[in-house]
Amino acid sequence: MVRETRISKDALIYPMFVVEDGVLAEGLEREEIRTMPGQYRYTLAALRPAVEQLMTAGIRAIMLFGIPAHKDACGSQADDENGIVQRALRLLRSEFSHLYLITDVCMCEYTSHGHCGILNGQQVDNDETLNRLAQIAVSHARAGADMVAPSDMMDGRIRAIREALDAAGFTGLPIMSYAVKYASAFYGPFRDAADSAPAFGDRRGYQMDYHNSREAVKEALLDADEGADILMVKPAVSYLDIVTRVKEQTNLPLAAYSVSGEYAMIKSAAALGYCDEEALIAETTVAAFRAGADLYISYYAPEIARLMDSGRIG
Ligand code: PBG
């Protein structure tokens, strides 16, 4: 009766990886991600039944990541009308009228060098990249996305994307900004899933330093000012102080992203018999909402929904 934190399935978002033909070995319709047991890379053919199951569990929002068969220096597949995410969007849009489709807007899954933008020498060129990101967001909107979620961390991208969406007629399409995204080792398994590890260097030039929290507020306020509709803090588990701090300083809805490494930690500890998986899922999920998250992006979303049904999360 007196619980302060209650969770709704409507607040859950499930990330999914969709691969172009030619990425998986021949004959495979889906492939389990080595470092994320229980999570898969789906071909278009396998996507539909997976989403059906998800919706049966009560999850109605997904975030799509695309993995193309061909990568190049400027990530040209990222805004191709027939790119993998665009095709997945058209397919899901026509099959599921009540599914909320969010897309990750970034270049690292599409570039041969694995960085999140256009390179100038060994550096990512922030301003050159803005235009590409805007084109990618518009192409997702055209293919049926309900919301775009830029994760690249270039400065000024929310304004660039907002202006491009408006100019293309998508004035009502919201942007969920990965506003506060730390350079984190917790993204390791994701880079396996998306084949997106940088070929050289790291992402510390554009992602945030985990020693900083005032900078999180600065980034959040900048993105709010540029037109973000939802802000995100990422990762979740080691950054709940940041969730609380950003929540106190802004009035936008706030999402927390429990990333691949958080999933992998719980999965592997459970597989070894060291911890109780369901108890950890419940505790980490409730903690994110208690800290101030309004939305929770998690690879455990279907399990969280099941734990809610059985009363383990209330
Ligand atoms: C793309 C992107 C990443 C994640 C989400 N979008 C990887 C990265 O920045 O290296 C990580 C998600 C996860 O680890 O679950 N830039």
pLDDT at 111 over 90: yes
| pLDDT tens, position by position, 260-314 | 999 999 999 999 999 999 999 999 999 999 999 999 999 999 999 999 999 999 7
User: Which whole number is the average pLDDT over 63-74?
Assistant: 95
Question: Which residue's alpha carbon is at the smallest distance from atom 10 of ligand 1?
Answer: 187
CB of residue 39 inside a 6 A radius of ligand 1: no
CB of residue 106 inside a 6 A radius of ligand 1: yes
User: Which whole number is the average pLDDT over 63-83?
Assistant: 96
CB of residue 116 inside a 6 A radius of ligand 1: yes
Residue 170: per-residue pLDDT: 98
pLDDT at 58 over 90: yes
How many other CB atoms are found less than 10 A from the CB of residue 23? Answer: 18
CB of residue 170 inside a 6 A radius of ligand 1: no
Percentages (nearest 5) of helix, strand, coil residues in the chain? 45, 20, 35
Positions annotated as catalytic residues are 181, 234
Distance 178 CA to ligand 1 centre (A): 10
Q: Tell how strand 176-181 and strand 100-105 pair up.
A: unpaired
Residue 260: per-residue pLDDT: 98
Q: For residue 155, what are its two tokens?
A: 């400065």
User: Which whole number is the average pLDDT over 159-166?
Assistant: 98
Question: Which residue's alpha carbon is at the smallest distance from atom 11 of ligand 1?
Answer: 187
Residues contacting 76, CB < 8 A, separation 6+:
110
Distance 2 CA to ligand 1 centre (A): 37
User: Which whole number is the average pLDDT over 11-37?
Assistant: 96
pTM, 2 dp = 0.97
Distance 21 CA to ligand 1 centre (A): 22
Residue 140: per-residue pLDDT: 98
| pLDDT tens, position by position, 31-46 | 999 999 999 999 999 9
User: Which whole number is the average pLDDT over 200-209?
Assistant: 92
Query: Closest Cα to residue 294, out of 227, 245, 247?
Result: 247
| % of the chain residues with pLDDT over 70 | 100
Contact 125, 153 (CB under 8 A): no
Q: How confident is the model at residue 3 (pLDDT cuts 50, 70, 90)?
A: very high
Q: How confident is the model at residue 196 (pLDDT cuts 50, 70, 90)?
A: confident
Q: Which of 57-61, 133-137, 172-176, 310-314 has the lowest mean pLDDT?
A: 310-314
| % of the chain residues with pLDDT over 90 | 96
Question: Which residue's alpha carbon is at the smallest distance from atom 6 of ligand 1?
Answer: 151
Distance 193 CA to ligand 1 centre (A): 10
Residue 242: per-residue pLDDT: 98
Residue 300: per-residue pLDDT: 98
Token look-up 């597989």 returns 271
Question: Which residue's alpha carbon is at the smallest distance from atom 8 of ligand 1?
Answer: 187
Residue 314: per-residue pLDDT: 77
Give the helix/strand (H/E) hosting 246: helix 240-249
CB of residue 262 inside a 6 A radius of ligand 1: no
pLDDT at 210 over 90: yes
Residue 295: left if φ>0, alpha if ψ -120 to 50, beta else—which one?
beta
What one-character-per-residue DSSP string does 184-231 give? -GGGHHHHHHHT---SSS-STTTSBPTT-SHHHHHHHHHHHHHT-SEE
